Amino acid sequence: MKTALILNGPNLNLLGTREPAVYGSQTLVDVEKLCAQACTTHGFALDFRQSNHEGQLVDWLHEAGRLHATGKLVGVILNAGAYTHTSIALFDAIKGTGISLIELHISNVFAREAFRHHSYISPAAKAVMCGLGVSGYALAIAGLATMQTGVSA
């Protein structure tokens, strides 16, 4: 069984209480449960993580690259939070690994402040999803299945 790795960046541990009008009321634990269900549907093992630290996210992307090299990774879904808009290190890590990665945002970043309109992740991502709330995570897992087979379940 291949693994779907879901990485969450800074402040996503605050989901549920953080700006609920923007991010909704579901917690990161709720999101993990949602992802577990979607992974069961698609026959993937789930590896779900969150860190507030850029270097930790870089290390996890390198780990994903090693798993990818063994053929055991279906892909990565990355919500890099604010590092999306600042991190050349994350861009380089994705480019350096050869992994299939979907960039995900809970909110529609293009309908928000101008500083959220630029992403360092997008040019290195296979796909980008934003504005669908936390249900975007389940849709992105379906997206990994589609990218793998060309057919959605």
| Contacts with ligand DQA, residue ranges (CB under 6 A) | 11, 79, 81-82, 84, 105-107, 109, 116
**Least distance (Å) from ligand DQA to the CB of residue 30?**
14
Q: How many CB atoms lie within 10 A of CB 28?
A: 17
Q: Annotated catalytic residue: which of 42, 68, 83, 105? A: 105
For ligand DQA, give the closer residue by CB, 22 or 69.
22
**Least distance (Å) from ligand DQA to the CB of residue 105?**
4
- Give the number of C-alpha atoms closer than 13 A to the C-alpha of residue 16, restricted to the C-beta side: 9
Q: Is 117 a catalytic residue?
A: no
For ligand DQA, give the closer residue by CB, 11 or 26.
11
Whether 75 contacts 144, CB under 8 Å: yes
Question: Which residue's Cβ has the minimum distance to ligand DQA?
Answer: 81
Q: Annotated catalytic residue: which of 23, 83, 120, 137? A: 23
**Least distance (Å) from ligand DQA to the CB of residue 11?**
5
Q: What whole-number distance in Å separates Cα of residue 63 and Cα of residue 121?
A: 18
Structure tokens at 16: 């549920």
Residue type (1 letter), 80: A
For ligand DQA, give the closer residue by CB, 67 or 83.
83
Structure tokens at 111: 């309908």
Q: Is 118 a catalytic residue?
A: no
Q: b/e for 123-145, b at 16 or more Cβ within 10 A?
A: ebbebebbebebebbbebbebbb
For ligand DQA, give the closer residue by CB, 64 or 106.
106
Among all residues, which ones are annotated catalytic?
23, 105
